[in-house]
Amino acid sequence: MKKSGNSLLGSKTSAGSPRVAIAIMAAGKGTRLKSQLPKVLHEVGGKPLLAHVIAAATRVVPPSDVFAIIGHEAGRVRAAVADTGVNFILQAEQRGTGHALMVAQSALSTYDHVIVLSGDAPQITPQTIARLLNFHLDQQAAMTLLSADLDHPTGYGRVIRRSARSAEVQGIVEEKSASPAQKKIHEINAGFYVFAVPQLFSNINKISTANPHGEFYLTDMAEVLRKARLRVVAWKTENSAEVLGANTRAELSFIDFQIRMRKCQQLMDEGVTIFYPATCVIDNDVEIAPDSVIEPFVQIMGKSRIGAACRIRSYSVIRDSEIGEGVLIRPGSILEEARVGASAVIGPYSHLRPGSDIGEGAHVGNFVETKKIRLGKGSKANHLTYLGDAEIGAGVNIGAGTITCNYDGVAKHTTVIEDGAFIGSDSTLVAPVRVGRGAYVGAASCITSDVPEEALAVGRARQIVKEGWVREKRAASKPK
């Protein structure tokens, strides 16, 4: 096996050790999900099933030794995980898990052992994969399978041991072919295996499609290899949650829940308060520093990072955003690819769109939408405002209902508002335009040309007052 800096295989990885590949079966359609989307691209914990399995695999061997077997919607699957650097093998026709390995034969022929993972079982850990391999090597087996005891084993293949205490396996029987007695077995085949490559490929042509699905079952290799007098063993994991596959929408949602609960548990262990965690959706890659409080019904997704002592109030949705220390996000705010400086206050009902950079101690309030702006330290935009493509300095006050008119129907233009400026309510700033340092814009102004430093600009019609107008109108309309 090639050396890898982050390998988990311990002493077994040292020079002279066997070459190990990982093959991930990910070619199936996922008929039971009744979906246009291929099964392995369905998401749990905010990431496709396959991305979880690849992440675990690439912590055991380098990406160059990982082979994803793809078939149904192969282009789409490949594109979704291309950035992981793993190899792809095309199984153009999906004729079963055994067939998936048949098509991988030439790619795997230079390895001594292959670890086979299921692309639809996302909770597998690198530690378990490494332990399975080590057990396989210690046992000098031709095939080692991962098993687990499940309270509800229905749907899984059952492991038939040669005797109750033996590591050796007689065979695996699929649910559809199991006898009533075999259905009572709680030890299931997890769908993760290690094979000695030469033994696998010199015997794989012995499996057939004589089963209820008319497919080549990889599970049949247990009996085939045993009959060839080769060693087939099972290693049982205590952590049965790890092996669950997402074959149905219900299983998908259950696994998603488990992953999210684990994430919340981890954050709570690290000092984050989460009220009603079952109502919160926090993606795996999210980081939250201690003493922050997450209220019910909050979603924090993607690569978001939240500093210490923040409070994220209910119904806020935060994606790929960076939030400094001591920030208060009031209810119902939406942040996407935004940055918020320390001690800022956002919301309620603010929408920070991509490229919003909110300075330290700044306030963005009720029904304010921002996009691609910098709002300087301590500046305030508290009510009913649209700020797009704007450079706004420190200590600026943006009055209620201010609009930056950034789009002329063809191109976007920038509004610059320098430090300490005051924009009166209901103003429109027609970009490109600049309001100088400390300048004032009178309420309801339409600003179309630059305002010099410390000047007052008023751009609205002068008020007209007609004394007694109502009285005269009333008199004129009275019936004679």
Residue 217 binds: one of Ca ion, ligand UD1, none (C-beta under 5 to 8 A by kind): ligand UD1
Say if residues 195 and 142 touch (Cβ distance below 8 Å). yes
Q: Which of 111, 135, 156, 386 binds ligand UD1 (CB under 6 A)?
A: 156
Strands (E), 406-455: 415-417, 422-423, 428-430, 433-435, 440-441, 446-447
* 218 touches ligand UD1 (CB under 6 A): yes
* 144 touches ligand UD1 (CB under 6 A): no
Q: Which of 245, 365, 393, 424 binds Ca ion (CB under 5 A)?
A: 245
Closest CA to 364 of 317, 398, 403: 398
Cα separation, 149 vs 301, in Å, equals: 33
Question: Which one of the listed residues 99, 113, 383, 413 is annotated catalytic?
Answer: 383
Q: How many residues bind ligand UD1 (CB under 6 A)?
A: 31
Q: Kindly indicate which of the ranges 30-38, 242-250, 384-392, 400-408 contains the residues binding Ca ion, using the contact rule CB under 5 A.
A: 242-250
* 347 touches Ca ion (CB under 5 A): no
Residue 123 binds: one of ligand UD1, Ca ion, none (C-beta under 5 to 8 A by kind): none
Q: Which of 8, 9, 23, 25 binds ligand UD1 (CB under 6 A)?
A: 25
Closest CA to 49 of 72, 24, 74, 73: 24
Within 79-118, the residues that bind ligand UD1 by CB under 6 A are 91, 94-97, 99-100, 118
Within 40-69, the residues that bind ligand UD1 by CB under 6 A are 40, 69
Smallest gap from Cβ 149 to Ca ion, in A, equals 18
Tell me the sheet residues that pair with 352.
335, 370
Q: Which of 73, 120, 242, 322 binds Ca ion (CB under 5 A)?
A: 120
Dihedral angle over CA of 345, 348, 349, 351, nearest 10: 0
* 157 touches ligand UD1 (CB under 6 A): yes
Cα separation, 319 vs 358, in Å, equals: 15
Residue 260 binds: one of ligand UD1, Ca ion, none (C-beta under 5 to 8 A by kind): none
Burial zone of 422 (CB within 10 Å; 0-12 exposed, 13-18 middle, 19+ buried): middle
Closer to Ca ion by Cβ: residue 120 or 283: 120
Smallest gap from Cβ 117 to Ca ion, in A, equals 11
The reply to whether 136 belongs to the active site is no
Say if residues 142 and 163 touch (Cβ distance below 8 Å). no
Burial zone of 78 (CB within 10 Å; 0-12 exposed, 13-18 middle, 19+ buried): middle
Say if residues 74 and 89 touch (Cβ distance below 8 Å). no
Q: Burial code of 300-324, b = ≥16 C-beta within 10 A, e = fewer?
A: bbeebbbbbbbbbbbbbbbbbbbbb
Residue 27 binds: one of Ca ion, ligand UD1, none (C-beta under 5 to 8 A by kind): ligand UD1
Question: What is residue 283's three-state secondary structure?
Answer: coil
* 142 touches ligand UD1 (CB under 6 A): no
User: Could you list the active site residues?
Assistant: 383
Q: Interface residues with ligand UD1 (CB under 6 A)? A: 25-28, 39-40, 69, 91, 94-97, 99-100, 118-121, 156-157, 172, 174, 188-191, 217-219, 245, 247
